Chain A
Amino acid sequence: NAGVMQNPRHLVRRRGQEARLRCSPVKGHSHVYWYRQLPEEGLKFMVYLQKENIIDESGMPKERFSAEFPKEGPSILRIQQVVRGDSAAYFCASSPGLSFYEQYFGPGTRLTVT
């Protein structure tokens, strides 16, 4: 009865490198949400995906950030050419579908850019 899994839990990258964050939703959940939490702030919505589809990416920066949720495998949030301002905790949440109002959160990935 595994919950949402995220890995790695901690990721250190140098400026200019790429960061890949992975999220495995609760088994059977087909909806995934990514949030970013900057220090001392609440969670900010980034992107909402269903299997093989990006539904809403209105919270995603236009450049360097991308997300996918393939038919098989985890959802991936990719940040290219990371900068110091990307340092944050990135949370993934999943839900079974549109009619479900509750999201189940993963433990988050803390990204540090040096």
Chain B
Amino acid sequence: AQTVTQSQPEMSVQEAETVTLSCTYDTSENNYYLFWYKQPPSRQMILVIRQEAYKQQNATENRFSVNFQKAAKSFSLKISDSQLGDTAMYFCAFMKHADTGNQFYFGTGTSLTVIP
């Protein structure tokens, strides 16, 4: 079974500073995808960034980047130059591809507050 663990229920960061959110996962799969989703107060789930497990290069999307350590099964999210609009719940997710469909597993989330 796949599990996703986010050990930081809450975090805060000063505006313009950098923050790192942790995520670890457990799987016996070799090919999979990892995602970070943002859920602002509107509750809409928004994809922030994704990483293919077969790629060694860490994914980057503007101010968001990941540190993917496949051997350690770690997938942390770094937010640079934090903005007030980054305040949200952040969910780490693991996806494995099965013949019957893609199966997603989510962590319990980290609530991030950006302090002005």
Contact = CB atoms under 8 A, between A and B. Distances in A.
Given A91-B45, A101-B33, A107-B43, A44 B106 contact: yes
Contacts of A105: 37, 44-46
Given A101-B33, A101-B95, A107-B44, A33 B104 contact: yes
A98 B101 contact: yes
Interface in A49-85: 50, 55-56
Contacts of B97: 98, 101
A100 B47 CA distance: 14
A43 interface: yes
B91 interface: yes
Interface in A92-114: 93, 95, 98, 100-103, 105, 107-108, 110
B12 to A, nearest CB: 17
Contacts of A108: 43-45
Nearest to A98: B101
A29 to B, nearest CB: 13
A45 B103 contact: yes
Nearest to A110: B43
Interface residues of B, number: 25
Contact of A43 (B46, B91, B99, B100): B91
Interface centre among A55, A101, A108 (most CB of B within 10 A): A101
Contacts of A91: 45
Interface of A: 31, 33, 35, 40-45, 48, 50, 55-56, 89, 91, 93, 95, 98, 100-103, 105, 107-108, 110
Interface of B: 4, 6, 33, 37, 42-47, 50, 91, 95, 97, 99-109
5 closest A-B pairs by CB? A105-B45, A42-B106, A43-B106, A42-B108, A48-B101
Given A42-B107, A42-B109, A48-B100, 18 more contacts: A33-B104, A41-B109, A42-B4, A42-B6, A42-B108, A44-B106, A91-B45, A98-B97, A98-B102, A100-B102, A101-B33, A101-B50, A102-B50, A103-B104, A105-B37, A105-B44, A105-B45, A108-B43
